[in-house]
A = this chain, B = another copy of it.
């Protein structure tokens, strides 16, 4: 079976996430990067193409050129990956869908909720697969956590705490990564809430199977002069009455990428930490604590099928990311991949950002959260 051929949109020189998508996509040899519109600057796009070691002729300066040229090749691209800054997501994804290409996109789905709605329409109109890379849901033990909760290990979920602390934006926002993320014209109205808060929001729903129905948000721009939020506290209510606390920050000095989630039910509790992703801690109401190991024999199929190495051989961020691409490849082959985030998750995420930003700005207290 030949590999699926990927075209990348974005990921030009200096990009962090472009190379990550490339490694993730190719890790399981189901997908191959063959083309890209890495930058609207032709020289930069070409330079990026060289760094990815693709055929120089397939590093395009604009989307239309890429779609036209690739459509004409027997070995043309099968889908596109959108990895540019947020404000490019909608135009890039829409163009790709219109050109007949399935899309896998970095998060958040778009810069604004209105754009997300437009995107949803485009997806529906095209009738093509769309996936959103909420990376952390690709970790095997996150999938195990979901399966355990679905299986009743915690009883009824009553409470969750999801945190995403970082410290890298505690000072001046310098460098390509920092600059666009703190510029509302490129990131959208949400700063931290859109960059990492949306990961945390999605993770909590993913793991618990619950849906948030209301929130109370307190977002701040702590660094003087910052135009978007960099420190966020959000209280959540879920559809079964459970309570949630979501903390996300980019000014917590010393924190690196400390996403973690704790979920508590009436029969048990669990803890997972992204920085030490290969153990999952399970507590039961009788006082017992169990450590579940990635790659170990206790794992269910959702986790076991997405693990490449035996227990004790740590897999990490790139492997988690690769699991989303494996799911996406399955989707393109017509196989089910129910855990892969899609357009519904895209809408929920953008609604979360939009609602939180407005609720905080208006000091509105509890407000309903709808798609």
Contact = CB atoms under 8 A, between A and B. Distances in A.
A172 to B, nearest CB: 11
A339 interface: no
A293 B154 CA distance: 20
B293 A251 contact: no
Most buried by B among A1, A247, A271, A309: A309
Given A247-B161, A266-B170, A288 B287 contact: no
B318 A308 contact: yes
Interface of A: 1-3, 16, 19-20, 22-23, 26-30, 50, 52-53, 154, 158-159, 161, 165-168, 170-171, 216, 218, 220, 222, 231, 233, 235, 243, 245, 247, 249, 251-258, 262, 264-271, 274-278, 281-293, 295-298, 308-319, 363, 365-366
A54 to B, nearest CB: 9
Contacts of A281: 254, 291
B27 A53 contact: no
Please give the count of copies of this chain that the complex contains.
4
Main secondary structure of the interface of A (DSSP, over half): loop
Contacts of A296: 256, 287
A275 B310 CA distance: 12
A308 B19 contact: yes
A310 to B, nearest CB: 7
A317 B311 contact: no
A308 B23 CA distance: 10
A358 to B, nearest CB: 15
19 contacts: A26-B26, A158-B231, A159-B251, A167-B269, A171-B285, A233-B245, A252-B264, A253-B269, A253-B285, A254-B281, A254-B284, A256-B296, A257-B312, A276-B276, A286-B297, A287-B293, A289-B292, A363-B365, A363-B366
